[in-house]
Structure 1
Amino acid sequence: MSAVKVPAAVIQLCLVLLLLSSVSAAASTHYTFAVIPFYTPEKIWTLYSPFIDYLNKTTGDTWELKLYQNHEALINDICSGKLSLALLGPVPLGRVNAKCGVKPLLVALGNDGKPSYHSVILTNDPTVKSLSSLKNKEFGFLKGSTAAHILPAKMLGDAGVGMPDVRPVYLESQDRIITALMSGDVKAAGVKENLAARFSKKGLSVVATSPPLPNFALSASSSLPASVRQHLVSALVRIKPLNNSKDAKTVKNWDDEIKHGFMRPDKEYLPSVMKILTIFREIQHEN
């Protein structure tokens, strides 16, 4: 059988089409970002969509916001590579680091410019003046949350109030903890200080505040390409909302947890996270 001669023009056209399809495939690559569900999915969508818009404008990569209902699904997905990037508190970050080596890329700053925050225990009961007076009262928890479970349980324990001494009520987000406090369904609960501050003049009082905790961090799956990591870091470390009015305008619709800027984690950050993980494991054992 004689060979069929293919015109050079046809070969060139095929090569061009192949090149275009490769470019199109590369351009269609998108990366997913999620927030550990300390808010309701609706609130996360509202507060973090502007953040995604910023990444899409500044990194040269395509980002999408992905919502999760619980910690376990998010942890499994970032370890498997189904999720590219997540904003994680100390306990979930410690868990993914221990499970699959995920490390923090950037740490969020508080409104004081520091990479730390506090857990605050609130009550709606004016007779509650100390942690010890919470015995036999309904206490709201967000299971697995640093600020809304692990540190409150630790603080209660240090005050001589073990988990069997309270009536735990497990809720699905810190928003719902606040709702339960406002409605009287629980007498006390722990939340992040930013959330506590919003309700300090609405009938809720502070019972106790934790020591400083390592703040939330943007943490990347091992599947996220190095170039994409660099684009992300460059886009976020250059904004200084606490010192620059233009940057403050850029982040005005972002969640309070990330609107004060980011920094690269120092050498003490991850060890401090793993200390919180140790407390988590102790609390889980007690439960």
Structure 2
Amino acid sequence: MSRLTNKSPQCRRTAHLACLALLLAGSVAAAAEYRFTPEPTYTPEAAEEIYRPLLDYLSKATGETFILVAPANYSSYWREIRQPDNTDFSYDEAHFADYRIQRANFIPLVRRLQPTSYTLQASPYFEGNTESPKGLENAKIATMPAPSLGYALLAEIFPDPVQQPEIKSNSASWRDAMDILNSGEADAMIFPTWMLETFGNPSNITVFTSSEFAGPAVLASPSVPEDVRNKVRDALLNVEGAPELAELLLELGVTRFVPASAEDYKGNQSMLSGFYGYK
């Protein structure tokens, strides 16, 4: 008889328990969760619905588990960015991306192919001068709250607090800002330029369009293992082959993702220098 069959029942039980423990340990390792945090351009409830297909896609493509961390607003998001251990992956516009890269050693994985710019538009019913931003100094301008990129650009356009327009920064989304303008609650708005093609009102008057920034980036915390970062990057570079993401990509203005580098965003964090907490 073999030595294995000569083992006592107690020995066989011990060996069985040891194997079971190894299997359980492997299952725990495979079930590690990674947090994905996008900018709060939607309410947390809307973000859960909008980003769910992406998280499911990443989980399936990488074999990892991804959960959404949806910030309540830009104020809390800015606070959490300054405490980088709060997330593993983020989806950020250029100023936040550069801040994470330079201050917390986040690693850029991919960026939206299309660059970002913002357009300042006025209602056709606004009675002031719409030939330049200066003509909107007495206007009410809708935008997302500080320090969103739209708000940061308004701060650059109107640097003098004495001559600033009334900034209505209570929008829950960029489409909400559009609705505020179209309803007459505001005289103007600043809006991502790419969205105007789909959701814009052709009657509005374009006053100013900003320079272009590299498109929003997906970044990884330096604590994320390199093999996981690589799997996420590769999955995102191939989203065109995922029909389940078609609606999400349209919502985000993404035709495809391309590799991102720190150089793409270098210097953009300076737009945050006027906001509380920047050091």
TM-score norm. by structure 2 comes to 0.82
Partner of residue 139, structure 1: 141
Aligned CA-pair RMSD: 2.6
2:162 alignment partner in structure 1: 164
Aligned 8 A contact 1:252 1:259 in 2? no
Q: Distance in 1 between matches of 2:24 and 2:243?
A: 39
- Distance (Å, rounded) in 2 between the aligned partners of 1:238 and 1:252: 12
Any residues of structure 2 matched to 1:225-264 within 5 Å, and which?
Answer: 225-239=225-239, 241=240, 247=241, 249-256=243-250, 257=252, 259-264=254-259
Offset of residue 118 of structure 1: 0.8
- Within the alignment, does 1:97 sit opposite 2:101 as a pair? yes
Note the C-alpha offset of 1:156.
Answer: 4.0
Match of 1:50 in 2: 53
> Secondary structure of 1:117's match?
coil
For the Cα contact (< 8 Å) 1:119–1:152, is it kept in 2? no
Q: Aligned partner of 1:237: which letter?
A: L
What's the secondary structure of 2:200's corresponding residue?
coil
Cα displacement string for residues 186-238 of structure 1 (whole angstroms, at most 9, x for unaligned residues): 21121211323333236433221111112100011222121110111111223
**Mapped pair 1:123 → 2:122:** yes
**In 2, distance between residues paired with 1:206 and 1:81?**
41
Change (3 A) 1:283 1:100: closer
Q: Which moved more, 1:51-60 or 1:168-177?
A: 168-177
- Displacement of 1:33: 0.9
Q: Does the residue aligned with 2:255 lie in a helix, a strand or coil?
A: coil
Q: For 1:19 and 1:253, how far apart are their aligned partners in 2? A: 41
> CA 1:12–1:284 in 2, change beyond 3 Å: closer, same or farther?
closer
User: How far apart in 2 are the matches of 1:228 and 1:76?
Assistant: 26
Gaps of 5+ in 1: 111-115, 242-246
Task: State the distance in 2 between where 1:117 and 1:83 align.
Answer: 24
Q: Deviations over 1:87-109 (max 9, x none)?
A: 01112223323432223211111
Using the TM superposition, give the Cα deviation of residue 81 of structure 1 relative to its aligned residue in structure 2, in angstroms: 2.8
Residue 271 of structure 2 is matched in structure 1 by: 279
* Cα 1:163/1:103, change in 2 over 3 Å: farther
Q: Distance in 2 between matches of 1:16 and 1:258?
A: 49
Secondary structure, aligned partner of 1:207? strand
Q: Cα 1:20–1:73, aligned 2, differ >3 Å: closer, same or farther?
A: farther
How far apart in 2 are the matches of 1:60 and 1:181? 44
Determine what percentage of the aligned residue pairs are the same residue.
21
Contact 1:104 1:220 in 2 (8 A): yes
Structure 2 residues without counterparts, runs of 5 or longer: 1-7
Match of 1:244 in 2: none
- Aligned twin of 1:219: 219
Equivalent residue pairs, number = 262
Question: For 2:162 and 2:199, how far apart are their aligned partners in 1?
Answer: 28
Looking at structure 1, the residues matched to 75 and 168 of structure 2 have their Cα atoms a distance apart, in angstroms, of 19
Deviating above 6 A after TM superposition, structure 1's stretches of 4 or more consecutive aligned residues are: none
With 22-31 and 95-104 compared, the bigger mean Cα shift is at: 95-104
